[in-house]
Structure 1
């Protein structure tokens, strides 16, 4: 069922993104009097179609893209049979270069606008919730395996990032920081300031989904929120509101101490001291084979919540949308520099489906769709023939020099671009499949 939900979200998300992208081309073309023969969400074979005026609107069986077919344009269809004749007034090739440029930019522009609107909507609806620096540094951080490899230790209090102050816990592993160069933290450890350097290739380890929750987290004071009836904790006498202060005589202040100790004592009997309304109670029980006692913990961590006005949401949403583009640029720089393994950084449809998750969460769905909308705009702007950016490159050349590339050159460029894109698609699908195992 989870797989079906992931696939359903992926298909819906791609349909929305492809639909608005191709609509951007269509509306720009029709605005300038160009004839749009076909508008399709998905690639052939066609599973549904309807002719409205001069345009056939259809849905294809392969939901990994879409297209508009504009008369007189050399596109991925490579239909050139009518290009030897004189151009008709309603053909793409008959229009001024600046109009053709706007048509080719139409999909990119609409994807950017869609991404901004989505991020503004999310900011309006959700506001933001975060752990401020002051709250984080009351107890410091928990360093997991990858965090320890980086140089952190449990209990560290992070004072600054790259010598500058920060606002919240999420800043410690922000994408901008991970994609930066020569980044470092200053932490307070045992009363001394210590520098923790982040290797420039650290993002390569972070790109592995198994490591993303294996770096650092806030250290969490806790108490017993509820006890599972019939559990070992219930049999021992633990009650709601109790605070576990020792296990086998060892002091417990934070949940990471408790979970680490219980994990090492699976199946063994233990002695517990619990504070109940100021009274210390002695209890004995055993640890379950999965390293638990059978209670739900309530963490004592104060989050800051903030609601946005419409103006603030516009500012925040626009910033978040363009931050996606900036991070993509930095990611490409990392790949070119060799700091990031391409296999871990490029995602195809299989891996994108996992981003949506196995439960239908509309907030997460729209966040992923907004992100993908900006990524789609960025990727389509790359100067690769067969992408919008390839057409923009040739049209810009025509506007600047006054010389239009020949139809034969454009046709051959499209062929080269299609080979590049199909090879890239095959790579990411194979790479996604391998990453599942």
Structure 2
């Protein structure tokens, strides 16, 4: 059932983004009286799942879910319709329209992507408001949960003040900024320190083998479950909280884990809190100091509040207030993704090794249905789709825009033969990128990353 929910969110988001992107091309094309022959969700290689012709346009759904397209008459695109291009230009064709109209048609898709992202963020600010933990409220610092971050010199209990010179006002901002960090300012024992990150930190995080966030809020040791053959299944229950180990009080899970490493092959007294009860019991450890008890890495904000661990800040916005907040969120998303691309295109970072394809996108979606998560991910993907399509690669919108700008500035239109050859080169570049990204997905699935 989990896979069905995940797949449903993935396909719904992908379909929405593709249809709206292609509408961005379709609407200005129709406004400028340019004939649109096809409008397809997914690719109809050899055959279509569904199709219906309305007026001069065939609308359909293809079987290959790698994108979608509109086929505009008289345009050199992925269809490579050389027969049509060999005929004299017709008034309704793309090639017969003024350059400024063709530019608007080509920019329509990415424009819709960016507008959609901003609209979603505005809507989310209005509907969901804002829930967060202020970084200033982390009196005992953060919990470092990834070995690669630990290796940089950041320790559990440190207070992260800024990343790349950007002040961290909220706990939620820390992890996503650490991925692209080059310099981190921390406070440890009332002393401010600056820690330099290696240029290939993204690759190191991936190779750490830790399928978890980089840092977490410091929370008590809450029992989440048990490993196979655990000797403590009858001693502890899910949701128990360990408060003392071997007579010593422990406030946080990281302290409990640190204590557990000392008890090779021993039986150790512990105090647990179970609801309103305080229970004294013992835990058994094997020779590797393993208890077989799994603990929670993160807790929902509602649970944090009930346990009186952190102050949860909640803000609700009027529709008018939501507009600048949504625009700011979208603008930050654009800047962050732009920085991510810069990192990927820098070979020294080795970030290209972490580029993912459709499996990576699929795995972003949660196993449980959440409209808040769905819209947040869809907005992010809309920004990604818009930026990627603007790359100056022939066969992408950005490639067409590049040649149109050249035509507008120079007054000379590239020949159809040149555009056909550029389209083929761009097509092979896209295929190579697609194979590389999805090959990364397959490799990671095989090696278990």
**Which aligned pairs between 1:277-356 and structure 2 lie closer than 5 A?**
283-287=280-284, 289-291=291-293, 298=307, 300-356=309-365
Q: Evaluate the alpha carbon distance shift between residue 209 and residue 383 of structure 1 in structure 2; reply closer, same or farther with a 3 A threshold.
A: farther
Q: Which residue of 1 aligns with 2:199?
A: 200
Q: Which residue of 1 aligns with 2:16?
A: 16
**Shift of residue 196, structure 1, vs aligned partner:** 2.4
- Rounded Cα–Cα distance in structure 2 between residues aligned with 1:293 and 1:80: 62
Structure 1 unmatched runs, 5+ = none
SS at 1:318's partner residue? Answer: helix
Q: Which residue of 2 aligns with 1:217?
A: 216
**Residue-by-residue CA offset, 1:208-238 (whole Å, 9 max, x unaligned):** 695463532222358999xxxx95247xxx9
Q: Which residue of 1 aligns with 2:423?
A: 414
Q: Evaluate the alpha carbon distance shift between residue 87 and residue 275 of structure 1 in structure 2; reply closer, same or farther with a 3 A threshold.
A: closer
Q: Which residue of 2 aligns with 1:66?
A: 68
Number of equivalent positions: 422
**Shift of residue 307, structure 1, vs aligned partner:** 1.5
**Shift of residue 159, structure 1, vs aligned partner:** 4.3
- Rounded Cα–Cα distance in structure 2 between residues aligned with 1:265 and 1:433: 40
Structure 2 unmatched runs, 5+ = 225-232, 286-290
2:394 pairs with 382, 385, 393, which one? 385
**Shift of residue 195, structure 1, vs aligned partner:** 2.9
2:235 pairs with 232, 236, 240, which one? 232
- Rounded Cα–Cα distance in structure 2 between residues aligned with 1:76 and 1:153: 52
**Which aligned pairs between 1:4-83 and structure 2 lie closer than 5 A?**
4-44=4-44, 45-83=47-85
Q: Evaluate the alpha carbon distance shift between residue 239 and residue 391 of structure 1 in structure 2; reply closer, same or farther with a 3 A threshold.
A: closer
Q: Evaluate the alpha carbon distance shift between residue 22 and residue 208 of structure 1 in structure 2; reply closer, same or farther with a 3 A threshold.
A: farther
Please say if residues 262 and 292 of structure 1, whose CA atoms lie closer than 8 Å, have aligned partners that are also in contact: no
Q: Which residue of 2 aligns with 1:142?
A: 143
TM-score (norm 1): 0.86
- Rounded Cα–Cα distance in structure 2 between residues aligned with 1:224 and 1:40: 50
- Rounded Cα–Cα distance in structure 2 between residues aligned with 1:5 and 1:274: 36
SS at 1:106's partner residue? Answer: helix
SS at 2:399's partner residue? Answer: helix
Q: Evaluate the alpha carbon distance shift between residue 266 and residue 24 of structure 1 in structure 2; reply closer, same or farther with a 3 A threshold.
A: farther
TM-score (norm 2): 0.84
Please say if residues 267 and 286 of structure 1, whose CA atoms lie closer than 8 Å, have aligned partners that are also in contact: no
- Rounded Cα–Cα distance in structure 2 between residues aligned with 1:275 and 1:325: 46
**Residue-by-residue CA offset, 1:3-29 (whole Å, 9 max, x unaligned):** 333333222221111111111111110
- Rounded Cα–Cα distance in structure 2 between residues aligned with 1:290 and 1:299: 28
Please say if residues 20 and 112 of structure 2, whose CA atoms lie closer than 8 Å, have aligned partners that are also in contact: yes
- Rounded Cα–Cα distance in structure 2 between residues aligned with 1:349 and 1:79: 28
**Shift of residue 143, structure 1, vs aligned partner:** 2.6
Please say if residues 148 and 201 of structure 2, whose CA atoms lie closer than 8 Å, have aligned partners that are also in contact: no
**Shift of residue 302, structure 1, vs aligned partner:** 1.6
Q: Evaluate the alpha carbon distance shift between residue 434 and residue 84 of structure 1 in structure 2; reply closer, same or farther with a 3 A threshold.
A: same
Please say if residues 121 and 317 of structure 1, whose CA atoms lie closer than 8 Å, have aligned partners that are also in contact: yes
Q: Determine whether 1:425 maps to 2:449.
A: no
**Which aligned pairs between 1:128-207 and structure 2 lie closer than 5 A?**
128-136=130-138, 138-144=139-145, 145-161=147-163, 165-175=167-177, 178-180=179-181, 182-189=182-189, 191-206=190-205
- Rounded Cα–Cα distance in structure 1 between residues aligned with 2:419 and 2:441: 32
Q: Which residue of 1 aligns with 2:227?
A: none
Q: Please identify runs of 4+ aligned residues in structure 1 that moved more than 6 A.
A: 222-225
- Rounded Cα–Cα distance in structure 2 between residues aligned with 1:411 and 1:224: 62
Please say if residues 223 and 295 of structure 2, whose CA atoms lie closer than 8 Å, have aligned partners that are also in contact: no
**Shift of residue 119, structure 1, vs aligned partner:** 1.6
Q: Evaluate the alpha carbon distance shift between residue 347 and residue 239 of structure 1 in structure 2; reply closer, same or farther with a 3 A threshold.
A: closer
SS at 2:70's partner residue? Answer: strand
